[in-house]
Structure 1
Amino acid sequence: MHAGHHRGQDGAPPAARLVDAVLLGGAPHDDGGRLLAALDRRQHAHTRALCLSGPVSLFLYFSIVKLAAMRNEHPVTAPGAVVRPATPADLKAVAEIFTHYVLHTVATFEETPPTVADWERRLADLTGRGLPFLVAESEGTVVGFAYAAPWRPKPAYRYTVEDTIYLAPEATGRGLGAALLGALVTESARAGARQMIAVVADTGSDASRALHRRFGFTDAGLLTEVGHKHGRRISTYLLQRSLG
């Protein structure tokens, strides 16, 4: 008998017993376990059967589970991290995070870092419109932020917003971008927005575009060489999703 098909005393292979443990309690403390635990447990009896034929089916099962969890927008967050509305006290950290991207990347087309006073005005403007401005906080430190702003100033665009999400460089890879985007989508819909646009530079943007696609965004177009920064010509991808 192959090791991958070994069965325990209950007749189920270790793979199936692992899935039982995850879906019925005691999820492993890793991304896969948290994604599995995010699923509706009523799916367990149906999907467990995919594990019974060994490791190939287990791979298929985990792929299906991961897609389902992403579609249902259950973000994986770092332990101890919270996403909450921004306050003026957060804006010094927000400014510091954004300054890194202004000075060292083409993720933003800003060339001069906004001051804390600029961020105070932006926070007041967005919250005054009822739009969300959120921060991710970990161990008492703001490590990321996200907000929704009007897509265009003309009044007929009033139900369409553009998202902005940035993480401190040391906070990437921990699920915080997903947590922020998931909360931003929810709060923007609650605020009455009906469409959300993401504008993503074509350089070093694979992770950002993949994250947006996880949350239901679809490609809406490519604007060729519309930006010029750090001596480079930059194109931008447009992604879009309905908020209901």
Structure 2
Amino acid sequence: MRHAVRRTLLTAAAALVLAGCATVRPAPAPPAAAPPSRPEQDRILKAAEHRLVVDCLTAQGLALRPVSQARAPADDSRLQTALFGKDPRELSITLATGHTVTANSDGCVAAARANLYGDQTRWFRAQVTVDNLRAEAQARMKDDPAHRAALDRWTRCAAPSGGPRTGRPDPAVADRCTRESGLADVRARLEPVELATVRTLRRDQVATYEQLRARALLRAAELSAHATQKKGNDAS
């Protein structure tokens, strides 16, 4: 009987020990937050760039003003120079489409982008290239025989009867001719293919764009944390 009681007490004690161990088991980690969507990333980067531009202007005794607020010509000129720098423009890239894009390397906007992306020249070249990938793909489509034939049909459709087409047709006429000529279908078929080709051709710039963009998101988070900390210190 004593042995049976002892075994019962030991079993109960063991159960209590195990239960106690179970209570100190760490809680499962919360699921990781989903990364921000592309539009949300764009918003974060735009807000960070705006904050840096405002700080840059403040250091020069300037401020952004609503468009509706009148400014003296001299003040407006000073603000524009502070924002966008002085000519001549130092940054330049000529795209495959033949268009040349230029920008200043001085001014508050340029300084903000240099702060965010780390290398202003690399970011400028990568951003302009990526922003014009679709335009390059559309330019390549024009060499396709099916596209040229559809464009000829569109032109005949949009031109006045018996005469050459002058100026831009009415938007409603242009849309109707785009459908009836088959140009819309040809573009829908060719554009994804050409866009994939262009992204492959410009893969180095696309990779640079994504790399610098990721760097900028980290920098934006640092700036946001610093601003929050500074606000808390000021409040205390």
- TM-score bucket (shorter structure): under 0.3
Query: What TM-score do you get using the length of structure 1 for normalisation?
Result: 0.23
Greater relative contact order: 1 or 2 (C-alpha under 8 angstroms, separation 6 or more)? 2
Q: Which is strand-richer, 1 or 2?
A: 1
Indicate the structure (1 or 2) with the bigger Cα radius of gyration: 2
